[in-house]
């Protein structure tokens, strides 16, 4: 059997500078270093002494030329080796994908290190921060509040526990200190009387985006499929233009419901309708070659083009394409969204405007008092969304077909660096929106950061290298 020479896949992202081997020059210096600087100089001296012509103004001249050349070679080898050592020791010159600092700032404290150590640190924090509460009405609750470290609202919530469960499923639960069974029971205990779930600020009425999030986590964890299917059916029955016009017009809500149902009820009749509505809600951006993209709204008064909402739409449509046949119009919109992301005009892609965190409000009339509104503050980790969208099979196919592999790889590595820069010891922190606001460590952000870096690391893995 013949052995093929390993080659680099043109879609495989290039390792970041801190992960490369030194190239040809590095190997030469290391070969010389194996002899030692003095030995290298002496080797050159002996070689020149043997090849210089005897008629070079006497024996002393031959020795002088050989000595000077030998000393020069020894000095050059020593300086080259010293330069390589300095570069390897300076984290500011070799930023790896898990360096916990933002671009343009001074070097920070040592980062957690490679992805396995980062994941281990995140797991330990989840173990330390888990809350166990005995509720007289709902029974024993095991999980997390919306953000790690909350003191005022320390009870497990549907959103915090669902994202915590998602995170554990990604980490692989290396031991029994956190059991997914207890988290699944807690989510069922937190189910509202109408069969769904809601965020803490949304009251006692189920909301489709939170219900779909919880159902996606339950389905991943292997919860009772009959109960999951029943809750998914109730969710889609309520998610209509008549009953939730606000939600049906928001890109964030529709994509969240679509992704959750693809996990919990992939055969649902509502999926094609949501997919088609999402594709039809795309807009055209003349600043990026009239390519289609998404804004925060799917209906009229869409708002400006948004990288985070385009990434959410691309990701949801790509997943839907794996479950059911994709109509031509939907595929064209999805592929245009990928091209729009690849057309980012900024020169640096680890801190471009497309990766700027975004905040939006979901305002709905209250069910018990339509004259008043409930407000859900939604924060978007743009870098993680862009990274996950660019890692979809459809995005890689578009880059290949359009000859945009270099642009795809550059933007991919930039987004990965931006995601990694926002964490400390495997936990992500949302910077305050306003002066005086406390730092938040929302579980959704840690899940999205870990999930994105894990997907990127899997794509980077090259067992044949």
What pLDDT score was predicted for residue 174? 84
What pLDDT score was predicted for residue 64? 55
What pLDDT score was predicted for residue 92? 40
Domain range holding 56? Answer: 17-89
pLDDT tens figures, 250-296: 999 999 999 999 999 999 999 999 999 999 999 999 999 999 999 99
Token pair for residue 295? 């804004």
What pLDDT score was predicted for residue 434? 59
Total number of domains constituting the chain: 1
pLDDT tens figures, 342-386: 999 998 899 999 999 999 999 998 877 788 888 889 999 999 999
Q: What is the pTM of this model?
A: 0.76
Residue 237 lies in a domain: no
Residue 136 lies in a domain: no
Query: Nearest 5°: CA angle at 25, between 24 and 28?
Result: 90
Which helix (H) or strand (E) segment holds residue 361: the answer is: strand 358-365
* Residue 74 near residue 40, CB atoms below 8 Å: yes
Dist. CA 125–CA 120, nearest whole Å: 9
Dist. CA 431–CA 422, nearest whole Å: 9
What pLDDT score was predicted for residue 200? 87
Q: Cα separations (Å) of 161 from 89, 208, 257, 381, 406? A: 40, 17, 18, 19, 39
* Residue 156 near residue 145, CB atoms below 8 Å: yes
What pLDDT score was predicted for residue 70? 56
CB under 8 Å to 86, separation ≥6 — which residues?
none
Residue 24 lies in a domain: yes
Burial of 443 by CB count in 10 Å (0-12 exposed, 13-18 middle, 19+ buried)?
buried
Residue 442 lies in a domain: no
Burial of 121 by CB count in 10 Å (0-12 exposed, 13-18 middle, 19+ buried)?
middle
pLDDT tens figures, 162-196: 999 999 999 988 899 999 999 999 999 999 999 99
Residue 28 lies in a domain: yes
Residue 168 lies in a domain: no
Residue 67 lies in a domain: yes
**Total residues found in the chain within this entry:** 465
* Residue 246 near residue 202, CB atoms below 8 Å: no
Dist. CA 140–CA 218, nearest whole Å: 18
Residue 133 lies in a domain: no
* Residue 172 near residue 157, CB atoms below 8 Å: no
Dist. CA 148–CA 134, nearest whole Å: 20
Dist. CA 48–CA 77, nearest whole Å: 17
Dist. CA 217–CA 191, nearest whole Å: 14
What is the residue-level pLDDT of the chain in tens, covering all 465 positions?
433 333 344 444 444 333 333 344 444 444 544 555 555 555 555 555 555 555 555 555 555 555 555 555 655 556 565 655 555 454 443 334 443 334 334 445 444 457 889 999 999 999 999 999 999 999 999 999 999 988 777 799 999 999 999 999 999 888 999 999 999 999 999 999 999 999 988 878 899 999 999 999 999 999 999 999 999 999 999 999 999 999 999 999 999 999 999 999 999 999 999 999 999 999 999 999 999 999 999 998 899 999 999 999 999 999 999 999 999 999 999 999 999 999 999 988 999 999 999 999 999 988 777 888 888 899 999 999 999 999 999 999 999 999 999 999 999 999 999 999 999 999 999 986 655 566 789 999 999 999 999 999 998 887 876
Lookup result for tokens 């299917």: 229
CB under 8 Å to 30, separation ≥6 — which residues?
22
| Helix and strand counts by DSSP (H, E) for the chain | 17, 8
Token pair for residue 18? 């801190």
């Amino acid at each position: 059997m013949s052995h093929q020479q390993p080659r680099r896949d043109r879609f495989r992202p290039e390792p970041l500078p801190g992960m490369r081997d030194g190239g040809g020059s590095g190997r030469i210096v290391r070969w010389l270093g194996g002899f030692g600087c003095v030995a290298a100089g002496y080797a050159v001296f002996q070689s020149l002494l043997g090849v210089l012509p005897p008629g070079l103004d006497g024996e002393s001249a031959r020795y002088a030329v050989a000595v000077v050349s030998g000393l020069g070679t020894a000095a050059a080898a020593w300086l080259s080796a010293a330069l390589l050592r300095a570069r390897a020791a300076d984290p500011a010159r070799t930023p790896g994908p898990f360096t916990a600092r933002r671009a343009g700032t001074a070097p920070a404290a040592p980062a957690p290190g490679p992805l396995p150590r980062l994941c281990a640190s995140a797991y330990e924090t989840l173990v330390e921060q888990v809350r166990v509460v005995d509720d007289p009405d709902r029974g024993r609750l095991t999980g997390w509040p919306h953000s790690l470290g909350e003191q005022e609202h320390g009870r497990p919530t549907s959103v915090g526990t669902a994202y915590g469960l998602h995170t554990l499923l990604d980490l692989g639960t290396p031991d029994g200190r956190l059991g997914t069974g207890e988290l699944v029971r807690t989510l069922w205990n937190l189910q509202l009387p109408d069969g769904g779930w809601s965020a803490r600020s949304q009251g006692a009425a189920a909301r489709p985006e939170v219900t779909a999030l919880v159902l996606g986590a339950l389905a991943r964890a292997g919860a009772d499929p009959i109960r999951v299917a029943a809750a998914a059916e109730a969710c889609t029955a309520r998610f209509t233009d008549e009953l939730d016009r606000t939600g049906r017009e928001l890109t964030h809500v529709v994509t969240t419901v679509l992704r959750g149902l693809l996990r919990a009820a992939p055969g649902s009749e509502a999926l094609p309708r949501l997919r088609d509505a999402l594709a039809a809600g795309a807009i055209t951006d003349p600043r990026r070659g009239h390519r289609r993209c998404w804004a925060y709204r799917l209906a009229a008064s869409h708002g400006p083009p948004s990288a985070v909402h385009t990434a959410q739409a691309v990701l949801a449509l790509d997943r839907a394409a794996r479950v059911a046949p994709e109509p031509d119009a939907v595929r064209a919109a999805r592929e245009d969204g990928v091209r729009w992301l690849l057309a980012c005009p900024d020169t640096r892609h680890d801190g471009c405007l497309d990766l700027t965190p975004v905040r939006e409000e979901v305002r709905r009339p209250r069910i018990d008092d339509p004259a008043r509104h409930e407000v859900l503050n939604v924060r978007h980790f743009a870098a993680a969304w862009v990274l996950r969208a660019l890692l979809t099979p459809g995005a890689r196919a578009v880059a290949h077909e359009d000859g945009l592999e270099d642009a795809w790889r550059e933007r991919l590595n930039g987004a990965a660096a931006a995601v990694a820069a926002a964490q400390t010891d495997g936990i992500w922190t949302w910077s305050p929106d306003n002066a005086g606001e406390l730092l938040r460590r929302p579980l959704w952000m840690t899940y999205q950061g870990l999930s994105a870096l894990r997907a990127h690391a899997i794509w980077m893995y090259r067992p044949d290298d």
